[in-house]
Amino acid sequence: MEYFIQQLINGLTLGGIYALIALGYTMVYGIIQLINFAHGEFFAAGGYMGVILLSFLSANGYLATYPWLCLSGAIILSMAYCSLLATGVEKIAYKPLRKSSRLSVLLSALGMSIFIQNGLMLTQGVYDKAYPTIFSQGGFDFGNIKVSYMQIVMLLITILLLILLNLLVFKTRIGKAMRATAQDKTMSSLVGIKSDRIISLTFIIGASLAAAAGIMVGMYYGSVGYTMGFVPGIKAFAAAVLGGIGNITGAMIGGFLIGMIEIFGAGYISSEYKDVFAFIILIGVLYFMPTGIMGENIDDTRV
């Protein structure tokens, strides 16, 4: 039982990360029906920005004195950086291709993904970069169950970001415009919504969530590498599909579920094959219920 609860907590932490990345996929897919292949790279870029900023701050001694301020500053700055990156990628690689076939958009996204990945490698080096330690390694012990400070911080940040996103999408005018554009691009532009701007905004939001996830993963595992975006990207995509692609609540639920499945699969079945579970879920969901849990309406061309 204790093992189960321990795994549950680990699963929640990992699932939060997947949920944050999955949101970017699902929002972009919802609005322009494109699998943003470069999304995993935004996540990696976020992780790298985090390590750059935090080691800069730690070398100047700020990190030891104001850890919270430095952490939030680093997260906000790297979110801003990834927004900048995402707008650029969207303007260069996706916007001119909005009218062409899906295959060419997908390939152009793939090209961008390879480009960013290698850009990171060339500027930051081939080897993994170690994160400076911010919080002490300790945590709370409940009997045999350990919850580290890091996990609590991660969960808090994840929940905060998810609440903020929900408020933005469901309570503000911008959110309303986004939902309208996702439903019908032509109609929403007829009523005065600038769809290009909304699409850029969607990319920005998705990329900044991924950047936050990247920093947290870097802190949790202690290092970042330039290929770190690929596998979590696919798993988060699986999460988005599981929740029903295009559906924001679905992506959150799907992210947590995929995280749990991975951790429990690794804990109870086989840790070597832990990457396989997400893929099997992805294939199973697409085969048996392509609309996902939340049942987003999908027409013939999408599946």
Partner 1 sequence: MIQEFKSKGKKYLIGLVWLFLLLWPLLGINADGTLTFVKAFSVWLYIVCASMIVVTIYIIHKKGLTLKLTKPLSSARNKIYAYTASMPKPLLFSIIGIIAFLFPFFTERYAQDVAINVLIYICLGLGLNIVVGMAGLLDLGYIAFYGVGAYTYALLNTFYGISFWLSLPIAAGFSGIAGCIVGYPTLRMRGDYLAIVTLGFGEIIRIVFNNWMQLTNGPNGILGIKPPSVIIPNFTNGFSLEYLYLKKLHYLYYVALILAIFTIIVVARLSASRIGRAWEAIREDETAAEMMGVNTFSLKLLAYAAGAVLGGIAGSFFAARMRFVSPESFTFIESAMVLSMVVLGGMGSIPGIILGVIALIALPEVFREFELYRMLAFGASMTLMMLFRPKGIIPSKRMGVRSEEKEE
**Using the rule CB under 8 A, is 105 a contact of partner 1?**
yes
Site string for partner 1, 143-182 (x = CB under 8 A): ----------------------------------------
- The residues, any chain, with a CB within 8 Å of residue 262's CB and separated by 6 or more, are 11, 14, 235, 274, 275, 277, 278
Can you tell me the distance from the alpha carbon of 258 to that of 281, in angstroms, rounded to the nearest whole number?
Answer: 8
Can you tell me the distance from the alpha carbon of 253 to that of 25, in angstroms, rounded to the nearest whole number?
Answer: 14
How many chain residues touch partner 1 (CB under 8 A)?
66
- Interface residue with partner 1 among 26, 108, 151, 158 (CB under 8 A) is 108
- Interface residue with partner 1 among 114, 156, 159, 167 (CB under 8 A) is 114
- The residues, any chain, with a CB within 8 Å of residue 133's CB and separated by 6 or more, are none
Question: Which of 125/138 has CB closer to partner 1?
Answer: 125
- Interface residue with partner 1 among 3, 60, 144, 160 (CB under 8 A) is 60
Question: Which of 41/202 has CB closer to partner 1?
Answer: 41
> Nearest-5° angle of CA 266, CA 272, CA 277?
55
Q: Tell me how far, at minimum, the Cβ of 150 lies from partner 1, in Å.
A: 21
Q: Which two tokens stand for residue 77?
A: 């700055």
- Interface residue with partner 1 among 149, 220, 264, 279 (CB under 8 A) is 279
DSSP, collapsed to helix, strand or coil, labels residue 38 as coil
Cβ neighbours, 10 Å, residue 242: 28
Can you tell me the distance from the alpha carbon of 239 to that of 282, in angstroms, rounded to the nearest whole number?
Answer: 8
**Using the rule CB under 8 A, is 253 a contact of partner 1?**
no
**Using the rule CB under 8 A, is 133 a contact of partner 1?**
no
- Interface residue with partner 1 among 42, 43, 48, 256 (CB under 8 A) is 48
